[in-house]
Structure 1
Amino acid sequence: MGNTQVKEARKLSRRSERSERRLFLADGPKAVEGALGVPGCVVQVFATPAATEQYADLAAAAERWTLVDDRALASLSDSVNPAGVVALCRFLDRPLEHVLDGDPRLVAICADIRDPGNAGTVIRCADAAGADGVVFAGHSVDAYNPKTVRASVGSLFHLPVGVDPEPASAVRAAQAAGLVVLAADGAGEVDLDEAGDLLARPTAWLFGNEAWGLPAELAALADHRVRIPIHGRAESLNLSTAAALCLYASARAQRA
């Protein structure tokens, strides 16, 4: 039983500890499977005996698989019903310029988004839409927050994730890389349903904070502001829902 290792791993529930050690926890079989698919990402896997039997294929793929009891495993998970397997992983993020290398066609830039579930869902949507990367800019939630990792359902390990402290510099870097920056903005001058030709171009979507959206000065840096039409009485859409619609609209246009 790796009680000492579990005690150290448990400290990674704190963002400061994750940032200092550049380590995080991936909870559940989908996350562990995704992490094992990235060479050098997984340091160690903690699992209960029952989970070891259930996920024998994961155990066979891991270099270090440590058996722990149910109580120790539960202390590493923030899930109501832990699946019994948690991976200790190295950070995956990279400088923004690396995310923008290689002529990307579709990127999501998240400026000051705070909700970890939204952040993970945006990563998942970007992955599903075939995007080339996701950037967390400004004072955004930690990409390695346990809720973010879980909400990404393994997609965190499928595409590049970048971090930039300044949303404005992220926008300018995307433009310098040849991407048209489209700000998702309810007051935008372009209707998403009428933006087919625009969406077919290499694009970086810019999404703002869940509560206050994009600051006017940041939205003004984008090449265009695009609104999602609201046909009913809803005031607006949830951030991750809006991101899914925008990213899939681009994916469809780019594949037409």
Structure 2
Amino acid sequence: MPSAPSPLSARNPAVQHLRRLFGRRRSRSEHGQYVVEGPTLVLEALASGVEVVEVYLDAGAPGGGVLAEVVMRAEERGVPVRHLAPGVLGRIADAVTPQPAMAVVAGRPMSLDELVGQARGGMVLVLAGVADPGNAGTLVRTAEAVGASGVVFGGASVDPLSPKTIRSSAGSLFRVPVATSPDPATAVAVLRDAGLTIVGATQSGDRPFDRYPWPDDVALVLGGEAQGLPPGLLGPADVVVSIPMAGQVESLNVAVAGSLLCFEWARRRSAWGYDSARFPARTSTPLT
């Protein structure tokens, strides 16, 4: 009986490729691949329609449990499973508590035209400079929860396929159509031409968000953590809404504010007879 292959060391070319994908946006773009970190998300990827290229496991991690399930699901899909020498995954992730599993997945964000061509109205979330991967991933998760048609990462926004963004999305990035656009103003113009109402959000908007009669088809534009909505996007907006607040609070975290606005849009659609048939459950990968 042949012996099992030796675990891969940090010098192995496949491991070095994994490290570059994990840490460099340029490498992810060049190769059309990204890294999924942690056994739970690896299972999410294997269960979704994304193309999982390889799975990597820490040879020093205890077997059984969720890791055994990862191996089983990978084998069912014909995905190679490779073991890394103890500690190698921890050095790749540079985490205090490294995860015992990673996967390389093939895929890139859509172009803006592709997203618009696929979307059938509804809500498109536009992130204009949301730089924190935790906020961005949370907003993608919210987008899935309200049945949004997609999310556009514009301008200086974080890479949607960075490991931290994917982790914060809790797997929603495997299912929600995501596009990138160098210029948020261009994205807004394209979405307006596609028939969406442009709704901006600032702390001193034209009207409170709960007094605005949200239409069916909306592009909700959210600014970055430091500067908020760029001035250049205030003019193109059809309306700018705000969230009234008590006390001395000046603003909310962008993920909190964006989630509140998304669910208000969803609530209004439900009240107006929202047709869920227009937004069936997504079973195929949005990343190409």
TM-score range, shorter chain: over 0.9
Q: Is the 8 A contact 2:119 2:150 kept in 1?
A: no
Please give the per-residue CA displacement for 1:184-217, whole angstroms capped at 9, x wherever unaligned: 111210211212x2x2421111001111111222
Please give the per-residue CA displacement for 1:127-148, whole angstroms capped at 9, x wherever unaligned: 2222121100112111122221
Between 96-105 and 219-228, the greater mean CA deviation after superposition: 96-105
Instruction: Report the number of matched residues.
Output: 254
Structure 2 partner of 1:15:
25
Change (3 A) 1:187 1:149: same
Find the partner of 2:112 among 92, 96, 100. 96
Task: For 1:165 and 1:181, locate their aligned partners in 2 and report how far apart those are by CA, in whole Å.
Answer: 18
Shift of 1:240: 0.7
The residue identity in structure 2 corresponding to 1:201 is D
Shift of 1:231: 2.0
Q: Is the 8 A contact 1:44 1:89 kept in 2?
A: yes
Between 201-210 and 11-20, the greater mean CA deviation after superposition: 11-20
Find the partner of 2:175 among 158, 169, 191. 158
Structure 2 partner of 1:114:
131
Task: For 2:152 and 2:40, locate their aligned partners in 1 and report how far apart those are by CA, in whole Å.
Answer: 22
Please give the per-residue CA displacement for 1:161-205, whole angstroms capped at 9, x wherever unaligned: 10111111110111122211110111210211212x2x2421111
Shift of 1:97: 1.9
Shift of 1:52: 5.3
SS at match of 1:140: coil
Structure 2 partner of 1:142:
159
Shift of 1:40: 4.8
Structure 1 partner of 2:49:
39
The residue identity in structure 2 corresponding to 1:229 is P
Q: 2:70 matched to 1:54?
A: no
**CA-based RMSD:** 1.7
Task: For 1:201 and 1:92, locate their aligned partners in 2 and report how far apart those are by CA, in whole Å.
Answer: 29
Structure 1 partner of 2:185:
168
Q: 2:23 matched to 1:6?
A: no
Shift of 1:89: 1.3
Structure 2 partner of 1:133:
150
Task: For 2:215 and 2:124, locate their aligned partners in 1 and report how far apart those are by CA, in whole Å.
Answer: 13
Task: For 1:104 and 1:29, locate their aligned partners in 2 and report how far apart those are by CA, in whole Å.
Answer: 35
Change (3 A) 1:78 1:200: farther
SS at match of 1:117: helix
The residue identity in structure 2 corresponding to 1:53 is G
TM-score by length of 1: 0.92
Q: Is the 8 A contact 1:34 1:158 kept in 2?
A: no
Q: Is the 8 A contact 2:122 2:149 kept in 1?
A: yes
Q: Which runs of 4+ in 1 moved over 4 A?
A: none
Find the partner of 2:231 among 202, 216, 219. 216
5+ residue gaps, structure 1: none
Larger radius of gyration: 2
Shift of 1:79: 3.8
Structure 1 partner of 2:283:
none
Task: For 2:182 and 2:170, locate their aligned partners in 1 and report how far apart those are by CA, in whole Å.
Answer: 25
